[in-house]
Amino acid sequence: MLKAQKLTLAVLISAAIISSAQASEQSEAKGFVEDANGSILFRTGYISRDKKNGVDDTSSFAQTAIVNIDSGFTPGIVGFGVGVVGDGSFKIGENNNAGNNMIPRETLNGKENSGDAYDHWARGGGNVKARFSNTTVRYGTQVLDLPVLASNTARLVPEYFTGTLLTSHEIKDLEVIAGKFTKNQYSDQVNTDGRRLDRAIVWGAKYKFDDNLNASYYGLDSKDKLERHYVNVNYKQPLANDSSLTYDFSGYHTKFDEGASTYSQTTDDLSNRKNNIWAISTAYNTGPHNLMVAYQQNSGNVGYDYGENADGGQSIYLPNSYLSDFIGNDEKSAQIQYSLDFGKLGVLPGLNWTTAFVYGWDIKVKGLTDDAEEREFFNQVKYTVQSGFAKDASLRIRNSYYRASDTYQTNAYIGDTNEWRIFLDIPVKLF
């Protein structure tokens, strides 16, 4: 891990020396106020999980306003700025449920998130930033979008991390990142360090070779939890009549520390838990149609686990991820997905439909079986207003029909579930 940090530092220093080869982002700074932007996202969110096999159903229904304000940079060799992210929410109805990562619950008998659901709550924080040439450093509360440390943004409100992130574009078409984070707050937590993150160090880079080919690598060391590495290669092959084929490979290698939380493991040696999970996919796009097939495979002695070790509730940049992520111990899975853009058909611009079926097999469940199975049928319809006073407002409705072998449910995974998610988003630009 230290070698990776030293390599990142060396790349940044070398990049700064040759940065004169392209225009500087900081030299084009217009000002602290002039480049500022602010917005509020009003979101109404509903999740219902109609569970089977004697497990109680759960639902969550709530309203929030998510604020994002970011100043520009002051002019000069080094520019400075500030930002604020946060949300204020209230539940609608009883909704005294846990497990959907939507609504926080009060502390009961010293145990967090185990009491009654909050009626209303607010979260968030500020950050400061500095920029030299094409390199920006930001410290404070942030929403992250990194394959090894990604904030969950698929619930009512986003997951927050507190720490420092450096992002550099000193070399054309190359982005280098390095960071350290010391707090992690899940979407349904009021405590700013609800995941009890000690220290997470991230590093990585992505490079655009040309308009059709790009590749990336990212690493993470979450202290006393895990070390994780991610690679991705994506190539788009243009075809006749504006059609294309896109080939994608992505994969993770994870080594879990003794204090990490895992599931679906087949070893009792807590110091030797690791896995490799990878996926390949091919997507054919023509006009309004997009058809994708994907194959995903996990190997090692434990299921790929994320989110439980302060490593981000959305840190799974793999194709076979819906309600289930198809990440059981030794699991193989295959998917077929179809998407339709109704606007390109001339029917209703802004309306999109995605349907997919994923089947997973050969799941190892210790002491029970080596060939458990799971499957999911997924559908989502999303409409985004294209013009007028409600421009960019969107309504998203998704449904998952999920079923698994009894032996896999015994291992406390999702369990047979019919899930609905309905999200209404109304963005308002402040400035």
State the pTM of this model: 0.92
C-alpha 14/C-alpha 174 separation (Å) is 13
Q: How confident is the model at residue 5 (pLDDT cuts 50, 70, 90)?
A: low
pLDDT of residue 420 exceeding 80: yes
C-alpha 239/C-alpha 227 separation (Å) is 40
DSSP, residue by residue, 52-110:
-TTPPPEEEEEEEEEEEEE----SSSEEEEEEEEEEEEEE-S-----SSSSS-B--BTT
pLDDT of residue 341 exceeding 70: yes
Average pLDDT along the chain? 92
pLDDT of residue 1 exceeding 60: no
pLDDT digits (tens, 9 = 90+) for 193-214: 999 999 999 999 999 999 999 9
Please compute the mean of the pLDDT values over residues 174-197 and round it to a whole number: 96
pLDDT digits (tens, 9 = 90+) for 157-178: 999 999 999 999 999 999 999 9
C-alpha 331/C-alpha 324 separation (Å) is 12
Of the candidates 363, 277, 357, which has an alpha carbon nearest to the alpha carbon of residue 316? 277
pLDDT of residue 57 exceeding 90: no
Please compute the mean of the pLDDT values over residues 24-44 and round it to a whole number: 94
CATH code: domain 224-390+410-420 is 2.40.160.10
CB 331 within 8 A of CB 303: yes
Please compute the mean of the pLDDT values over residues 225-230 and round it to a whole number: 97
C-alpha 260/C-alpha 142 separation (Å) is 24
Percent of the chain, pLDDT > 90? 81
Domain ranges for the chain: 224-390+410-420
Q: What is the DSSP-derived secondary structure letter of residue 118?
A: P
